[in-house]
Amino acid sequence: MALLLAMVFPRFLPSEDTKALSFSEFMTAVQTDQVKTVDMNNQTFTLSGELKDGTKFHSTATQNFPSTDEAALMKQHGVNFNPKTPSSNWLMSWATLLLPMLLLIGFFVWMQRRAAGQMGNVMSIGRSRAKAYTTDRPSTTFADIAGYQGVKQEITEVVDFLKMPERFREIGARVPKGILLVGPPGTGKTLFARAVAGEAGVGFLSVTGSDFMEMFVGVGASRVRDLFQQARKMGRAIIFIDEIDSIGRKRGAGLGGGHDEREQTLNQMLAEMDGFETSEGIVILAATNRPDILDPALLRPGRFDRQIVVPLPEADERLAILKVHSRDKRMGPDVDLEVMAKATPGMSGADLANLVNEAALFAVRRGSKQIERIDFENARDRVVMGARRESLVLTGEEKRATAIHEGGHAILTAVLPHADQLHKVTILPRGMALGVTWSLPEERHTYSKEYFEDMICRAMGGRVAEKLVFGHLNSGAANDLEQATGIARRMVREWGMSDRVGPMAWSGHQQVFLGEDLMTQGREYSDETAKLIDDEISRILHEQETRATELLDRHRPALEEVAALLLERETIEGADVARVLQGSFGDTRIPAGDEA
């Protein structure tokens, strides 16, 4: 670097102001007695000097300068001529030799460091990628988790053991080595694991199942060994493995052989779980939403011998979750979180968090400084039914067909005795649908045969309404037919709701990746039974279509009026449909004043 500066820096030094003269002008100045001194570089033939008035100048001479006549002329006019041959610059001479050598040495140093870095990466590829948290982290506790009191009580035993292990040793009790958190996506399984570590105040190692998998053979097993070694060094600690199903699937099944990398990783994990005692203060928590595909050896006593189900939240728990996610947001006075909790059945904690955030985004788009009820309504519509398709423009005929279709769904939802409560009907295109009839399912855990029959009849409402009004069918009922056929198939095959088939159940065809052997896949019943199942599915569908036709034919005036309201307003509430039916027949099960 110093060498380069010495070579380059002088070029950028400021030079004195000099006057540039051509060679002819220089010779003219000599003839007119203006030149005082001249210095010439014999190598570059550049001239520099001073005029008699003190002006500095520079010029360039010809290669044969000075000739005899030019030398005599300068002597005659008293010019002090000084030809010079500059000595060679030793720095530049050495630079031409040293610079290539320095570049070559630098290249070899860079290659050596790169090779050392790659070798370090190769040597560390078998190390665990678990994220370690100290006793100060995570700071999450059970107080940060809204609802789920039953899950908290069940998992508190692990916290007590990590805090006071001597109490369990005195009585001879053994705490489970592994606890498996099972539940749908978004219910907070990972949050519970962090809360256990936060409550117990112990070390926390977090890793996902995919972190064990690598293209190199044996890497997964090596990372499992390193993970448990880290936990033992921490003393009392919690190992949390998220998405354990990625490495814990059944062995010896599916398309993979018995020697693939995933199965070797699972074998190493089973060996490590058998290799430590609960007295060491190490507890393994794992989370999955697919417990049915886990290897039986992983779930036996002594390994993951306890499963804690983290279900979707109930109405009270949804209210608590909404309050947690609304704490740092500016809420309007008309927002009723209790009503919103009742109107969001089936939503997980992650869904509710997204709902509150979507409501805040809608408020910003409106230019409001607080979140109001209309924002929550729009956010719920977007989450449940999809974003509104502003660019899609329906023709008048398509719009009327959509209104009749959704009106058929709405009328049947309102009059069927076991159907869910009608909430809203719209013919505004949302998601992939041209219109949506939205009902609010009640909190229930078992469903009757009559409920499923009403669901199929309701699904047939759009198709039947179009056939009654227009006398022909179109493709708009494709999704309805798919939903109705799926329900009827499960009624016959799985739930034993067919008198002809009887109390028999056949599960759906499992995929190979779920752990079933490809060669053993086959139908569990004879051709005669298959025909009987098909006949029963067809019978259920035709019966409910006939039922839907009779009901809509009876309520034809109400259907036309509901369709007219949809064409006028584009979106109507369930109470509007109730008032239409009460005005026509007075036999709807929805009170006229209910705003659903």
pLDDT of residue 164: 75
Assessment of whether the complete model's pTM goes beyond 0.85: no
**Is position 406 annotated as part of the catalytic site?**
yes
Instruction: Give the pair of three-digit tokens for residue 139.
Output: 């700071």
**pLDDT over threshold 60, residue 256:** no
421 and 569, same domain (yes or no): yes
- The 10s digit of each residue's pLDDT in 183-227 is 888 888 888 877 877 777 777 787 877 766 665 556 667 777 777
The answer to whether position 265 is within a domain reads yes
Picking from 359, 385, 411, the residue at the C-terminal end of a domain is 385
**pLDDT over threshold 60, residue 365:** yes
Can you state the percent helix, strand and coil of the chain, rounding each to 5?
A: 55, 15, 35
DSSP letters along 219-254, please? HHHHHHHHHHHHHHHTSSEEEEEESGGGT-BPTT-T
- The 10s digit of each residue's pLDDT in 1-53 is 554 555 544 444 444 567 788 878 878 877 787 888 888 777 777 888 888 77
Residue type, 590: I
- The 10s digit of each residue's pLDDT in 507-551 is 654 444 444 444 445 567 788 888 999 999 999 999 999 999 999
Domain with residue 235: its CATH number is 3.40.50.300
Catalytic residue among 406, 453, 536, 545: 406
Backbone angles phi, psi at 35, to 5 degrees: -95, 135
55 and 25, same domain (yes or no): yes
- Mean pLDDT highest for which of 179-193, 239-253, 346-360, 385-399? 346-360
Domain with residue 334: its CATH number is 1.10.8.60
CB 25 within 8 A of CB 64: no
- The 10s digit of each residue's pLDDT in 137-151 is 556 777 777 777 778
Domain with residue 71: its CATH number is 3.30.720.210
The answer to whether position 92 is within a domain reads no
365 and 290, same domain (yes or no): no
User: Which residue has tokens 């060669």?
Assistant: 519
The answer to whether position 456 is within a domain reads yes
471 and 535, same domain (yes or no): yes
320 and 409, same domain (yes or no): no
Q: Is 290 exposed, middle or buried (0-12, 13-18, 19+ CB in 10 A)?
A: middle
pLDDT of residue 131: 54
- The 10s digit of each residue's pLDDT in 554-564 is 998 998 899 88
pLDDT of residue 517: 44
200 and 290, same domain (yes or no): yes
Residue-number span of the structural domain to which 32 is assigned: 17-84
**pLDDT over threshold 90, residue 366:** no
- The 10s digit of each residue's pLDDT in 2-15 is 545 555 444 444 44
